[in-house]
Amino acid sequence: MHERILPRLGAASGVLFVVLLFGPSSSGSDSQIVVALELLGLLFFIPFLGYLCSVLRAAEGPSGWLWVTALGAGLVGVTMKLASIAPGWAARDFDDGTAIHKALDRMNETAFIAQMLPDGVLLAAIAIVALKTSALPRWLGWLAAVAAPLLLVNGMFLDADFGPAFLLFMLWTLLASVVLTVRPSAVRSQAERVAPSPGLV
């Protein structure tokens, strides 16, 4: 039973990440409960990333390095997301228009833009493995390949107030989470079938 439930829990964490990150924030409120739900959503990204990278590792083989790159980039990205909340939260203690409020708010916005850089590396690594091995449906691999450079470019514009490429990242995460949740064994079986033989590595 655990062999069926645990993979689905890891895969479904991606949906919870997207829902909790976007759902409460769409209200426009910055109350304690809204921020707490956003933090919880960010934490759900970690088990999703872990399960996703296990699928990539099964396809690439233990000696592969792209799945490790994806894992590292994903952890850096979620760490930057978590860190970006601190200055935004601290800015609430100062009146709008004051220099310190503007500085803290700007730190929050800059961190949000910059975190798209590791997100871009994450999707680039996923795209290469997915398209090379069919560890994931090819359309997910191509979507990752399209979103990765857009994230990298968007992440370079630190003065931007909005990151449209991040919406693509969230869309990819949602779709991948649904696919992995609905058919976890099928995806993993495909990944294991295409994994290189230890004798050929």
Q: Rounded CA gap, 116 and 95, in Å?
A: 29
Give the pLDDT score at 25: 64
Within 13 A of 101's CA, how many CA atoms are on the CB side? 7
Q: Rounded CA gap, 43 and 197, in Å?
A: 35
Give the pLDDT score at 98: 86
Give the pLDDT score at 147: 97
Residues of the chain with pLDDT under 50: 1, 198-201
Q: Rounded CA gap, 179 and 144, in Å?
A: 14
Q: Are 21 and 171 in contact (CB under 8 A)?
A: no
Task: Report CA 66 to chain centroid distance, whole Å.
Answer: 16
SS3 96: coil
The token pair at 87 is 């200055």
